[in-house]
Structure 1
């Protein structure tokens, strides 16, 4: 199964660099330039992971996460924040949304390698949760059928 990653970043260069690294890792990539575009893609695509910048026009990362966190269907999709916001207040505010991970930009060569590793871990996590939910539904169906 090829996992789909949503790259949400208004910086076209950062967006392209990240997509290039992910294509090499054989992920399916879709991208958005702001949170509103990201939400539209979430409604129309099966997304397995979101890379999210915080500072964007139209709808920033905070506004995106407010909407995202209120939608139960999205709760299984991990978010890795990639942002230049590095102050303690900013990081604490971001972590309140229960993001999977956080990496500070700029994404130099080492940070790109770290990001790819974090992405692999997050995708494995997403796949395990998805498999667990499918197994739980099967067990629930079997136990309901057996009780009839």
Structure 2
């Protein structure tokens, strides 16, 4: 159950999952900027935009276009990929990952009873989702073929 969304259907849950994926993408791109030791102003300069654009993007204060995401990713030398999967595929991956994480913490003694873990209370996606993966990646210089 999501607070404030007592009567949810599959479409509502899909919207929540997509928003979470978008927020995660922005967080991971920002983490990449920090890994490189770049300031938001330096990223803005690389993108040729005002620093306030980068600030709003990182805060989630804008509905970023694919073009903005690409420009930001290029500025922080990152590769962003997209994967579309069915609701069932996503559910299987999500539940499997949560189970693996829960069992790892349980066997390490961090959680006394797997049934009591907060991880089991997370909503399970119920519709088709767009999954974004991030991979830090330096773009190699172009080479000429002989």
- Rg larger in 1 or in 2? 2
Higher relative contact order (CA 8 A, sep 6+): 2
Higher-strand-fraction structure? 1
**TM-score, normalised by the number of residues in structure 2:** 0.29
**TM-score, normalised by the number of residues in structure 1:** 0.29
